[in-house]
């Protein structure tokens, strides 16, 4: 049994990691300022984790949270390209300054390894696909720059201070509990939520943009593998975490519409600033160094996700005394 600290534990990915680690019998501590996260996401594990409602900007609390911890899974961030464009300063604080405080806290406390939630947005638009870790990054938004800057911070703390760090570049994660109710929500959560409420979702651009949509269980596995993989294979390195397959937004729309028996076509809006055209991961490095293999594909993941949101809608309607 090991002691894990999850930052951003009340968020979509953080809470999924918490459930998996608790189920494996590990000791889990989590911090979150509840800015986009929700304590409801921790309902299943709330009695089994040490939850601390703190901001990563609070240095003394961060140091205290790192005491006695072997592995840190750093998920906390303002995880949105459009939000970083509207309010780059807040995003910079939450994404860069907070990560710096965590690195300092982890180093002082003698944490063994930090696994960092990096982002495929660091690649921007590349001339060729799939995206490989040795490509020159080309971040297109403040968010992408912030996520990339923290990868460099991670690498430097390994090279300079010997703190083991691993950066996992996630490719469009989706699954149960992803927030659907904000203008900044991920595209799959948004499409499902709109269709469930009987409205046609909006596609920004022509719908031919493609993404390597990665089901949450794959991302959880990658994090756990990154903690235990051999130091000489992973420390100071960056790995793509995707599936190696991509789907256009129109294909994604059609699959969700068929699962929900939703017959209307999409609305269209202007392509958004900072959005990339195509995203497809080369996962060979993660396969070799971490033993990572995606086990849940796009369609199976989508079925699980749609059925979770349907269940939520039914529960909500029952509480409000209406039938959806
Ligand atoms: N979801 C994706 O598709 C995706 C893709 C690439 C990378 N990522 C990265 O994965 C991580 C998790 O993303 P998510 O989708 O679960 O987002 P999320 O918004 O659901 O979770 C982020 C959590 O961090 C918390 N948080 C934010 N700032 C904080 C601070 N200063 N102190 C303490 N807590 C803070 C929020 O309250 C929230 O609970 C992020 O770092 C994000 O950049 C996500």
If one counts every other C-beta atom within 10 angstroms of the C-beta of residue 198, the result is 9
Q: According to the model, what pLDDT value does residue 322 have?
A: 61
- Residue 227 Cβ contacting ligand 1 at under 6 Å: no
pLDDT digits (tens, 9 = 90+) for 13-61: 999 999 999 999 999 999 999 999 999 999 999 999 999 999 999 999 9
Tokens of 49: 């984790």
Phi, psi of 226 (to 5 degrees): -65, -25
DSSP secondary structure code for residue 42 in this structure: G
Query: 3-174+216-244+277-295: which CATH topology?
Result: Rossmann fold (3.40.50)
Task: For residue 259, count CB atoms less than 10 angstroms from its CB and return exposed for 0-12, middle for 13-18, buried for 19 or more.
Answer: middle
Strands 173-174 and 210-211: unpaired
Separation of alpha carbons 45 and 51, rounded Å: 10
> Which of 5, 7, 8, 40 has most ligand 1 atoms within 8 Å of CB, for mutation?
8
Q: According to the model, what pLDDT value does residue 275 have?
A: 84
* 3 state DSSP class of 302: helix
- Residue 37 Cβ contacting ligand 1 at under 6 Å: yes
Separation of alpha carbons 79 and 88, rounded Å: 12
- Residue 75 Cβ contacting ligand 1 at under 6 Å: yes
Separation of alpha carbons 51 and 206, rounded Å: 43
- Residue 34 Cβ contacting ligand 1 at under 6 Å: yes
- Residue 146 Cβ contacting ligand 1 at under 6 Å: no
Q: According to the model, what pLDDT value does residue 182 have?
A: 74
Q: According to the model, what pLDDT value does residue 323 have?
A: 54
Partner residues linked to 173 by β-bridges: 214
* Catalytic center residues: 143
- Residue 98 Cβ contacting ligand 1 at under 6 Å: yes
- Distance from Cα 312 to the centre of ligand 1, integer Å: 21
- Distance from Cα 10 to the centre of ligand 1, integer Å: 9
- Distance from Cα 229 to the centre of ligand 1, integer Å: 24
The stretches in the chain having pLDDT less than 50 are none
Task: For residue 25, count CB atoms less than 10 angstroms from its CB and return exposed for 0-12, middle for 13-18, buried for 19 or more.
Answer: exposed
Q: Which ligand 1 atom minimizes the distance to the CA of 32?
A: 34
Q: What is the pTM of this model?
A: 0.96
Q: According to the model, what pLDDT value does residue 26 have?
A: 98
> Which of 6, 10, 13 has most ligand 1 atoms within 8 Å of CB, for mutation?
13
- Distance from Cα 249 to the centre of ligand 1, integer Å: 23
Domains of the chain by residue range: 3-174+216-244+277-295
């Amino acid at each position: 049994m090991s002691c894990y600290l999850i930052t951003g534990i009340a968020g979509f990915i953080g809470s999924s990691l918490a459930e998996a680690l608790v189920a494996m019998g590990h000791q889990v501590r989590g911090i979150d300022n509840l800015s986009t996260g929700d304590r409801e996401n921790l309902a299943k594990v709330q009695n089994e984790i040490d939850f601390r409602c703190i901001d990563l900007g609070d240095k003394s609390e961060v140091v205290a949270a790192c005491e006695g911890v072997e592995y840190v899974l750093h998920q906390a961030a303002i995880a949105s390209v459009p939000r970083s464009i509207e309010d780059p300063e807040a995003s910079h604080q939450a994404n860069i300054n907070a990560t710096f405080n965590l690195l300092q806290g982890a180093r002082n406390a003698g944490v063994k390894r930090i696994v960092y939630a990096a982002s495929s947005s660091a690649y921007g638009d590349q001339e060729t696909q799939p995206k490989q870790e040795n490509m020159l990054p080309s971040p297109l938004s403040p968010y992408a720059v912030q996520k990339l800057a923290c990868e460099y911070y991670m690498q430097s703390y390994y090279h300079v201070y010997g703190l083991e760090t691993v950066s996992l570049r996630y490719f469009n994660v989706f699954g149960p509990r992803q927030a659907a109710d904000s203008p900044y929500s991920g595209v799959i959560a948004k499409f499902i939520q709109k269709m469930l409420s009987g409205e046609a979702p909006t596609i920004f651009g022509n719908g031919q943009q493609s993404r390597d949509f990665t089901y949450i269980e794959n991302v959880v596995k990658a994090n756990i593998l990154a903690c235990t993989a051999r130091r000489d294979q992973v420390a100071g390195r960056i790995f793509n975490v995707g599936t190696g397959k991509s789907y256009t937004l129109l294909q994604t729309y059609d699959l969700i519409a068929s699962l929900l028996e939703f017959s209307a076509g999409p609305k269209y809006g202007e392509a958004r600033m900072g959005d990339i055209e195509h995203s497809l991961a080369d996962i060979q490095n993660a396969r070799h160094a971490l033993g990572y293999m995606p086990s849940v594909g796009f369609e199976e993941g989508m079925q699980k996700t749609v059925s979770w949101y349907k269940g939520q809608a039914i529960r909500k309607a029952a509480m409000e005394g209406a039938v959806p």
